[in-house]
Amino acid sequence: MKIGTTHQFSELVWFILRPQYRHNENFIEKLLKWAERIALPPKKLNFYVVRSPYIGFVSISIEMEREKDFSEMIKELDEGIRAYSLVLSDERSTFEAPWLEESDEERLKKIQRPNKRQYTEAEGGLDQKSGLVSSPLMNRRKESSFIHANSSIPTLRTKRYVANKVAQGTKLPASYYDLKALSQPPGVKISDLAGRFWNFKNPGQNTVIYMLDTGYDLQHPELENIKVQDWLDPYVFPWDEQNDINRLYPYHGMHGTSVLSKCAGRTVGVSQAAAYVLVRYIDGRVRGNYDTFADALVQIYDHIRSRNSDKKCVLNIAARFPVYIGTTKTQFEAQRRLHMEDIFIKLAGLPNLIIVTGAGNAFMYERNSESYPSVFADHFFIGQKMVVVAGYHPWTGHEVFPGVKETKVWAPAARVSTACWYLNGSPTENKYKVAPTDFDKKRQICYKEGISYGIPLVSGLLANWLSSGIDTDLVINYMYRLAYPRADNGPAVLYNGIKIQDWPREFWPNWYKKNANRI
C-alpha cells in the first residue's frame, strides 16, 4: 500500500471535462481546488489529471472517502463536467482490488482457464481439399488480378520493385503455420514455401509502432533485440522498484509480452526492424481503468506530435477498454463514446498514424462487444484511419473470431506461435496440447488463441509496407487488395504480397521453375 493512503477504504471518482472547458484555466483552477478538498490525504497525491499540451485538460480521477458527498462540487462545476463515474464501489464494477494478493497457483488458474466455447480442428488440416492446398495453376490467374491499373493504390509494378529488393526467407519449424501462411501466395501450397516465412529485409525499418497493452517482459528470449524508442506509463501511481518485479506487471497473463512478440519477436515477429514505443495502461497499483486508458491514448498523441511527427507510425491496440460498467450520471455507452471518441478523433487526425485494433471478441465465435476501440470505426473520420481485424484459423482457413461490418482483413488467431511464460521448463498455457520442441523451449514459445495475436501481425505488415515506401494514406487499401481467402468460402486473409519470383531461385518449387516463363 502506498504510504499515507487508505485506498482499501476509499472510493475513486472519475470526472470528464467538456471539450470547450479543456483550456479554461479559471474552471480548471476551481476543479483542482475541489479535488484537493475532497481527496484523501496526502491530498495532492490522491488525484490524477489526464492533460495534454495539445488537447488540454481531459479528465481527473480523485480518490476520496467512501460514500463521501461531493454533490456541492458537482453543483458548482456542472457546466464544465461532461460525465463522471464511481470506479470502486459500484456493485456492477468488475474492478479487482490490487491489494488482494494472489498466489502463483491462483494466477496460473486464471491464465489456464478454459474458453467459453471449445474449438476442435477436426474439420481442417494441411492436406484437405481447400484453398490452403489449391492447384499451383491458380497462381497465374489470381496473382495477376489483385491490383488493377486504374486503382488509386500503388500499382503492381511498384510492389514488385519493392519485393525484388527486400525479400528474404526465415526457416521455421513446421508447426509455425500461422507465420508461413502470411507469405503464402495465391494458389501456392504451404509445403511449397521451402519451410520458410518470406518477409521483407529489415522489416519495418524507419517506422514506429506504438504498443498499448498491459506490460512487457523484455528479458524474454524473443524480445532480446527489440528496438525500444521510449516507454510511456500512466502518471498516476507510477511504477517503482517494488512494483516492477511484481509478476502482474510483466506477465499479466503474458498478454502484452505475447502481443509484442508477434511484431518484434526474433522468431515469431514480422517487423523486427521497427522502433517501438511501449505503452502500459496499467498503473503502479496494477490498476487499469478508463482514466489510465485515456491517459495512455493522450500520451501517445502527444508523443507522436512532439517526437515522431516526421515518422510513419502504427498504433497497435490489442486490448479492450477496462471492464467496468458503473456510472452515476450518464449511460455507460454514452459516457464512453463522449470521452474516448473525442480522443480517437484526435489520433485519427494525425496524418502519419494508422490505428489497428480487434473486431471486439474475447472468445471464439463470441459476438462483438462494444468494450473494444473498434466501436469507433463506424465514425467516418476515425474509420478512415482504423483497421479492424478479425481472426481465422490458419489450419482450416475459416473464421473463428467474427468481424464487424468495417472488417476487411482476417489474421491468424488460433494456434498462433507466440512468446509464452515458461515455468519449470514447460509453458503455462498449452491449449492445443502441443509438446514443446527443444527450439520452443529455448525461445520460450507456445501456441495461443485470440484476436490479440492477429492484430500485431497486421500492425507489423503495415509497418513493413510503410517502410518500403508506400504512403500512409494508401497502405490500408493496399493491404485490403492483397488479402485473399485461404479456403473455399473463407474470409480475406492477410498476405504480405511477396511472390515466388521474389525468392532466391534455389528455393523455387519445381513446378514453378518449369512454368516460370509462362506465369
Phi/psi of residue 484, nearest 5 degrees: -155, 160
How much of the chain exceeds pLDDT 70, in percent? 73
Range of the domain at 75: 10-87
Sort strands 445-448 and 416-419 into parallel, antiparallel or unpaired.
antiparallel
Higher pLDDT: 149 or 38? It is: 38
Domain-embedded: residue 148: no
Give 344's pLDDT tier (boundaries 50, 70, 90): very high
Residue 145 has a pLDDT of 29
Residue 119 has a pLDDT of 35
Higher pLDDT: 347 or 95? It is: 347
Sort strands 81-86 and 10-17 into parallel, antiparallel or unpaired.
antiparallel
Q: Is the pLDDT confidence value at 163 over 50?
A: no
Distance, in Å, from the CA atom of 44 to the CA atom of 39, rounded to the nearest integer, reads: 8
Residue 286 has a pLDDT of 65
Q: Do 27 and 169 have their domain in common?
A: no
Of 71, 87, 103, which residue is a domain's last? 87
CB atoms within 10 A of CB 12: 22
Residue 1 has a pLDDT of 37
Q: Is the pLDDT confidence value at 475 over 80?
A: yes
The DSSP code sequence of 417-472 is EEE--EETTEES--TT-PPPPHHHHHHTEEEE-SGGGTHHHHHHHHHHHHHTT--H
Q: Is the pLDDT confidence value at 243 over 70?
A: no
Give 46's pLDDT tier (boundaries 50, 70, 90): confident
Q: Do 34 and 167 have their domain in common?
A: no
Q: Do 223 and 338 have their domain in common?
A: yes
Residue 109 has a pLDDT of 52
pTM of the predicted protein model: 0.84
CATH assignment of the domain containing 203: 3.40.50.200
Residue 128 has a pLDDT of 30
- Cβ-in-10-Å burial (0-12, 13-18, 19+) of 137 comes to exposed
Q: Is the pLDDT confidence value at 390 over 50?
A: yes
> What is the residue-averaged pLDDT of the chain?
80
Beta strand residue intervals within 301-369, DSSP E: 312-317, 353-358
Q: Do 367 and 478 have their domain in common?
A: yes
Domain-embedded: residue 153: no
Of 25, 60, 87, which residue is a domain's last? 87
The tens digit of pLDDT for each residue in 60-69 reads 988 888 878 8
Domain-embedded: residue 513: no
The tens digit of pLDDT for each residue in 91-129 reads 444 444 444 444 445 544 544 444 433 333 333 333 332
Residue 485 has a pLDDT of 97
* Total number of domains constituting the chain: 2
Contact 73, 15 (CB under 8 A): no
Question: In the structure grid, which three cell numbers stand for residue 126, read together?
Answer: 494441411
Q: Do 252 and 374 have their domain in common?
A: yes
Q: Is the pLDDT confidence value at 214 over 70?
A: yes
Contact 209, 463 (CB under 8 A): yes
Q: Do 370 and 248 have their domain in common?
A: yes
Higher pLDDT: 519 or 343? It is: 343
Higher pLDDT: 324 or 488? It is: 488
Residue 290 has a pLDDT of 76
Of 63, 87, 111, which residue is a domain's last? 87
Domain-embedded: residue 118: no
Q: Is the pLDDT confidence value at 131 over 70?
A: no
Q: How far is CA 182 from CA 195, 268, 347, 440, in A?
A: 13, 12, 28, 20
Residue 347 has a pLDDT of 98
Average pLDDT over residues 78-102: 60
Higher pLDDT: 156 or 391? It is: 391
Q: Is the pLDDT confidence value at 249 over 80?
A: no
Q: Do 70 and 186 have their domain in common?
A: no
Q: What is the DSSP letter of 314?
A: E
Q: Do 170 and 301 have their domain in common?
A: yes
Distance, in Å, from the CA atom of 368 to the CA atom of 370, rounded to the nearest integer, reads: 7
Q: Do 304 and 445 have their domain in common?
A: yes
Contact 151, 159 (CB under 8 A): no
Q: Is the pLDDT confidence value at 85 over 80?
A: no
Q: Do 315 and 406 have their domain in common?
A: yes
Residue 68 has a pLDDT of 83
Residue 45 has a pLDDT of 80
Residue 326 has a pLDDT of 44
Among the listed ranges 10-14, 26-30, 67-71, 94-98, which one has the minimum average pLDDT value?
94-98
Among the listed ranges 107-111, 149-153, 176-180, which one has the minimum average pLDDT value?
149-153
Residue 158 has a pLDDT of 43
Q: Do 329 and 466 have their domain in common?
A: yes
Residue 285 has a pLDDT of 65
What angle, 0 to 180 degrees and rounded to 10, lies between the N-to-C axes of helices 455-467 and 472-482?
A: 120
Domain-embedded: residue 71: yes
> Angle 77-326-17 (CA atoms, 0-180°, nearest 5)?
25
CATH assignment of the domain containing 17: 3.30.70
**Which of 60-64, 335-339, 341-345, 466-470 tops mean pLDDT?**
466-470
- Which residue's entry shows cell 472547458? 21
Domain-embedded: residue 283: yes
**Which of 102-116, 360-374, 390-404 tops mean pLDDT?**
390-404
Q: Is the pLDDT confidence value at 440 over 50?
A: yes
3-class DSSP assignment, residue 111: helix
Q: Is the pLDDT confidence value at 152 over 90?
A: no
Q: Do 78 and 176 have their domain in common?
A: no
Domain-embedded: residue 100: no
Domain-embedded: residue 94: no
Q: Is the dihedral of CA 510, 512, 516, 518 positive or negative?
A: positive
Question: In the structure grid, which three cell numbers stand for residue 253, read together?
Answer: 497473463
